[in-house]
Amino acid sequence: MSDAPITLALSKGRIFDDTVPLLAAAGIPVDPEATRSRKLILPTGDPGLRLIIVRASDVPTYVQYGAADLGVAGKDVLLEHGGEGLYQPIDLGIGVCRLCVAAPLGFDYAQAVRRGARLRVATKYVDTARQHFARKGVHVDLIKLYGSMELAPLVGLADAIVDVVSTGSTLKANQLVEVEEILPISARLVVNQASLKTRAARLEPLLARLAAAVAGPAAAGSALAGGGSGVPA
């Protein structure tokens, strides 16, 4: 069995910030300020576990190819990636939002769809959006963007967008409204399928502690004491 530490891929920002308390509850302290150093490989309080810092949309790729054993990624990112080579055992209940179609206030999206109009839709979730509109029989031209999707309808780049929405304040600030929910989103723990077999002795207890941390303090106490697997099927 490899002596290398287990590697967990995280993205900076909300995923890192929301995962650190879960790791702490699983008995693995991480310095919450650690990403300030600009180091991309970070230690944890457990010498057997290290973190790597990658772009949110790159997390599944690092785990798929085994450069990381584990990762934390939003369901939106996983859908767009396709999930090949990844086992998704735990919904971490963080990064909660929803993937939506949004359009400018005053644009009658439902009527445009009814009359079979061809819509220009800007998004970074091109494959997911293509599948959604194909299922609904809506004709779309998709325009790939990497951020600030809400701007596209305001400057005539698109009729509508597909993006994640949480409080709705970004849509509101840009005079957009949600016209269709595609699916609810939260962040998942993803595991390299080969690692799960070859490094089971080290990964399974870690997964059990994380699952218990997600379930709450009582379950986390029992997993830290060695009770129950806690890993959902």
Which residues bind to ligand PRP, rule: CB under 6 A? 147-148, 150, 163-170
139 vs 172, beta carbon nearer ligand ATP: 172
Q: Does 211 bind ligand ATP (CB under 6 A)?
A: no
**The entry of ligand ATP, ligand PRP, none that residue 76 binds, CB within 5 to 8 Å by partner kind:** ligand ATP
Q: Of the ranges 74-82, 107-115, 206-214, 220-228, which one interacts with ligand ATP (CB under 6 A)?
A: 74-82
The reply to whether 166 sits near ligand ATP by the rule CB under 6 A is yes
Among 13, 48, 184, 221, binds ligand ATP (CB under 6 A): 13
Among 42, 57, 66, 168, binds ligand ATP (CB under 6 A): 57
* Residue of 69, 76, 80, 150 interacting with ligand ATP (CB under 6 A): 76
Q: What does the DSSP assignment read for the chain?
A: ---SPEEEEE-TTHHHHHHHHHHHHTT----TTGGGG--SEEE-SSTTEEEEE--GGGHHHHHHTTSSSEEEEEHHHHHHH--TTEEEEEE---S-EEEEEEEETT--HHHHHHTT-EEEEEES-HHHHHHHHHHHT-EEEEEE-SS-TTHHHHTTS-SEEEEEESSSHHHHHTTEEEEEEEEEE-EEEEEEHHHHHHTHHHHHHHHHHHHHHHH-HHHHHHHHTT-------
- The answer to whether 149 contacts ligand ATP (rule: CB under 6 A) is no
Q: Which of 9, 26, 68, 77 touches ligand ATP by CB under 6 A? A: 77
Residues that bind ligand ATP (CB under 6 A): 11, 13-15, 55-57, 74, 76-77, 95-97, 164, 166, 185, 187
